[in-house]
Structure 1
Amino acid sequence: MGPPDEYNHLSGLVVDSAFKVHTTLGPGLIESVYEACMLHELRKRGVHAESQVSLPIRYDDVTLDAGLRLDIWVERKLIVELKATESLLPVHKAQLLTYLKLSRCRLGLLINFNSALIKDGIQRLAL
């Protein structure tokens, strides 16, 4: 499986997992609940996924841990940023784009579990 196919496959597994979690739990819970359930669903599907991964920054030729954390890093290739908010704002998209640049990842998914329909709460961002 080549890189574009691999990214599509991984993002498909993440979206399928999000649909399962949202169908089971619905909107209205806090982000950490969705994160734990997403990790469980991804691992059931045989996907290597890590949560709350520290993302250091380079500043003035020094590597700093500035408290940036990736919600879920899938196979070290796809960043999943989870939200449980009334609506996604431009700052949420900017946050994920920054994470993509700092990590040198090419693809990210922004998922808002507080959407009535989960399909309306998913945005795919690529560099």
Structure 2
Amino acid sequence: MEITQTYINELTYKITEACIEVHKILGPGLYENIYHQCLKKELHLLNIEYKSELTIPFNYKGEPIDCLVKCDFLIEDLIVLELKAVTEFFNIHRAQTMNYMNLLKVPKAILVNFNVTNLYHEGHETYISSHFKKLPKS
């Protein structure tokens, strides 16, 4: 299978729908870890491959640094999915998500906040990297 912008956008839609399903059942106001565990089950039901709490290797000036950098999900080695349960997104959440995307050299990232009334309209943001722009459209 060829990885295209269209494929990644369709996968993004499926991931967002999985998040909405979890949010529809649980609602806002729970700890991030609860959403994380339920989303693992939802992604499994949808046959979407993922890595959970993936440790990201970190280098400084070409040397590995012994530090713990983890993203919540890496979906099909293409999309970082970062979960939050906060009153609102702050720039630090956006920067963290984009840094994970760039460190893993993946085309896209999704930042989701489960502590909202309507996840579709106010609870998620997507970001693309330079890797996405280099992919064929379809």
Q: Give the TM-score, by structure 2 length.
A: 0.88
User: What is the CA–CA distance in structure 2 between the aligned matches of 1:98 and 1:62, rounded to whole Å?
Assistant: 18
SS at match of 1:24: helix
The whole-number CA distance in structure 1 between the counterparts of 2:20 and 2:29 is 15
What per-residue deviation string (whole Å, max 9, x for no partner) do you get for residues 81-124 of structure 1? 00000000011001111111111011000000001111111001
Task: Give me the identity figure in percent.
Answer: 27
Aligned to 2:34: 33
How far is 1:46 from its partner? 0.7
Instruction: Judge conservation of contact 1:78–1:105 (CA < 8 Å) in 2.
Output: yes
- Aligned CA RMSD, in angstroms, stands at 1.1
**1:52-100 CA distances to partner (integer Å, 9 max, x unpaired)?**
0000111132223421101011001100000000000011001111111
SS state at 1:105 partner:
coil
TM (normalized to structure 1)?
0.95
Counterpart CA distance in 1 for 2:62 and 2:15 is 35
Q: Structure 1 runs of 4+ off > 2 angstroms?
A: none
Aligned residue for 1:29, secondary structure, equals coil
1:121 alignment counterpart: 123
Determine which structure has greater relative contact order: mean sequence separation of CA pairs < 8 Å that are 6+ residues apart, divided by chain length. Answer: 2
Query: Runs of 5+ in structure 1 lacking a partner?
Result: none
5+ residue gaps, structure 2: 130-138
Structure 1 counterpart of 2:9 = 8
The within-5 A match list for 1:70-81 is: 70-81=71-82
Supply the AA of the counterpart residue of 1:122.
H
Provide the aligned length of Structure 1 versus Structure 2. Answer: 127
Cα 1:36/1:65, change in 2 over 3 Å: farther
